Amino acid sequence: MLLHHCTWKEVEERLQSSKGIMVPIGSTEQHGPNGLIGTDAICAAAIAAAAGDELDVLVAPTIPVGMAQHHMAFAGSMTVRPSTLIQLINDWVMSLSHHGFTHFYFINGHGGNTPTVTAAFDELYAGVSLSADGAPHIRCRSVNWWQGKRTSELRKKLYGAKEGAHATPSEVALTQYIDRDTIKNVPVDGVAPPPGAFADASDYREKFPDGRMGSDPTLANPEDGEKLLGVCVADVVEDYNKFVGNAA
Ligand code: NI
């Protein structure tokens, strides 16, 4: 259930038995010629909502803008600095910790967030370790939705090497299944350059002119998106249960 759809009394009641919460984290950035700018936030939110329903676990508001400085040469992309994202994650977690949540399970939709999310968790733990009484008790985990076992296998089976590393057919398929009205029937010309290193936004655009990195998102379709959502939820449910144990 979404935190947004609860009353404060319902949250207070839940905290008696469950102190875990999911936090979707995405990005707002170009996703190639046919991918939505909101792809990473849309995917993370949908997976968290579905897994949260299956587990009967609360889902916090999505962090919609991530660390995407390298996409800023494409119109519509937004970014927060790593330092801002660390503060944002800190305030998301500490707000919820204040009420008694202890286990924070981030479902990440954007690989570019990973180093910053890791640093944010270290900041949170440092705050606890340096406090006189070691309080509050906090445990954080972040998973990239595309890297679960079942999900990785399905991505490989569906798209092989054409999955690529950015604006992938799997993420585009997910958004197509989540909202068919957003499907873009537009041409995608040429083969995307293979994944590789990049620095700032102009460097990224020079190396990856239409935004794609090694991917062929024309392979995406909503039917694949439905299958991908199913395996993603199975991966997340299994991993979340391991993470929380009987931690309440
Ligand atoms: Ni993405």
R_g (Cα) of the chain, nearest Å = 18
Total structural domains within the chain: 1
Distance 57 CA to ligand 1 centre (A): 25
Distance 134 CA to ligand 1 centre (A): 37
Evaluate whether residue 30 is within a structural domain: yes
Distance 69 CA to ligand 1 centre (A): 14
- C-alpha span between 72 and 42 (Å, rounded): 19
Distance 246 CA to ligand 1 centre (A): 33
pLDDT in tens, 217-238: 999 999 999 999 999 999 999 9
Residue 103, pLDDT score:
98
Distance 10 CA to ligand 1 centre (A): 34
Evaluate whether residue 211 is within a structural domain: yes
Q: Is the pLDDT higher at 134 or at 171?
A: 171
CATH number at residue 176: 3.40.50.10310
| Section 66-88 average pLDDT | 98
- C-alpha span between 188 and 153 (Å, rounded): 26
Percent of the chain with pLDDT over 90: 98
Cα–Cα distances (Å) from 203 to 29, 103, 179, 198, in that order, read 16, 38, 32, 6
Evaluate whether residue 247 is within a structural domain: no
Evaluate whether residue 246 is within a structural domain: no
Distance 43 CA to ligand 1 centre (A): 8
Distance 31 CA to ligand 1 centre (A): 6
CB 145 within 8 A of CB 108: yes
CA angle 80, 83, 84 (to 5 degrees): 45
Distance 130 CA to ligand 1 centre (A): 36
Evaluate whether residue 150 is within a structural domain: yes
Q: How confident is the model at residue 134 (pLDDT cuts 50, 70, 90)?
A: confident
Evaluate whether residue 131 is within a structural domain: yes
- Helix, strand, coil tally for the chain in percent (to 5): 50, 10, 35
Evaluate whether residue 248 is within a structural domain: no
Residue 119 has pLDDT above 90, yes or no: yes
pLDDT in tens, 172-211: 999 999 999 999 999 999 999 999 999 999 999 999 999 9
Residue 105, pLDDT score:
98
Evaluate whether residue 95 is within a structural domain: yes
CB 221 within 8 A of CB 137: no
Distance 171 CA to ligand 1 centre (A): 6
Residue 248, pLDDT score:
40
Q: How confident is the model at residue 247 (pLDDT cuts 50, 70, 90)?
A: very low
Q: How confident is the model at residue 141 (pLDDT cuts 50, 70, 90)?
A: very high
Distance 84 CA to ligand 1 centre (A): 20
Helix residue ranges per DSSP H, the chain: 8-14, 39-55, 82-98, 114-129, 149-159, 169-178, 201-207, 222-244
- The range of the structural domain enclosing residue 41 comes to 3-241
Nearest to 216 by CA among 152, 168, 184, 158: 168
